[in-house]
Amino acid sequence: MAKRKKEPEVNANPLADNVHIQGAGFVKSEEITDALTSNFMPYAMSVILSRAIPEIDGFKPSHRKLLYTMYNMGLLQGGTIKSANIVGRTMQLNPHGDASIYETMIRLSRGNESLLYPFVESKGNFGKAYSKNTMYAASRYTEAKLAPIAKELFEDIGKDTVDFVDNYDNTMKEPVLLPVTFPTILANVTTGIAAGMASSIASFNLGELCDTTVALIKNPEHEISDTLLAPDFVGGGYVIYDREELEKIYSTGRGSVKVRAKYTFDKTGNCIEITEIPPTTTSEAIIDKIVELVKANKIRELSDIRDETDLKGLRITLDLKRGTDSDKLMTKLFKMTPLEDTFSCNFNILIKGTPMVLGVGDILKAWIDFRLECVRRRTQYTLDRKAERLHLLQGLEKILLDIDKAIKIIRETDSEADVVPNLMIGFGIDKSQAEYVAEIKLRHLNREYILKRTKDIEELINEIAELEAILASKNRLKKIIIKELEAVSNKYSGERRSQILYEVKQYNEEETVEIPDYPVTLFITKEGYLNKIRTANLRMSGEQKVKEGDEVVNQFECSNKDELLVFTDKAQVYKAKVDDFPDGKASQLGHFVASTLEMEPDEKTVFICIVREYKGYMIFAFENGKVAKVDISAYKTKTNRKKLLKAYSDKVPLAAVEYIEEDCEFVLCSTSGRMLILNTGILNPKTTKDTIGVSVMTQKKNHKLESMHIYSEGEFEKAWRFRTKNLPAAGALPGPSDNAAQITF
The residues carrying an active-site annotation are 141
Distances from the Cα of 417 to the Cα of 313, 412, 440, 645, angstroms: 72, 13, 16, 100
Question: In this structure, what DSSP letter does residue 633 have?
Answer: G
Query: Whole-angstrom Cα distance, residue 317 to residue 442?
Result: 79
- How far, in Å, CA of 67 to CA of 89, rounded? 11
- Give the integer Cα–Cα distance in Å for 21 and 8: 9
Look at residues 727, 745, 736, 729 and name the one whose alpha carbon lies nearest to residue 675: 729
The β-bridge partners of 668 are 676, 708
Helices (H), 18-110: 32-35, 41-47, 61-72, 83-90, 98-108
Burial of 380 (0-12, 13-18, 19+ CB in 10 A): middle
DSSP H helical ranges for 98-256: 98-108, 151-154, 206-218, 224-227, 243-252
On whether the CB atoms of residues 560 and 516 are closer than 8 A, the answer is yes
Distance between CA 328 and CA 342 in Å, rounded? Answer: 21
Residues in the chain: 745
Radius of gyration of the chain (CA): 42
E strand or H helix at 471, and its extent?
A: helix 447-472
Do residues 514 and 578 lie in contact, with contact meaning Cβ atoms separated by under 8 Å?
no
Which are the contacts of 423, defined by CB distance < 8 A and separation ≥ 6? 406, 409, 410, 429, 434, 437, 438
* CB-neighbour burial class of residue 248 (10 A; exposed 0-12, middle 13-18, buried 19+): middle
Say if residues 234 and 109 touch (Cβ distance below 8 Å): no
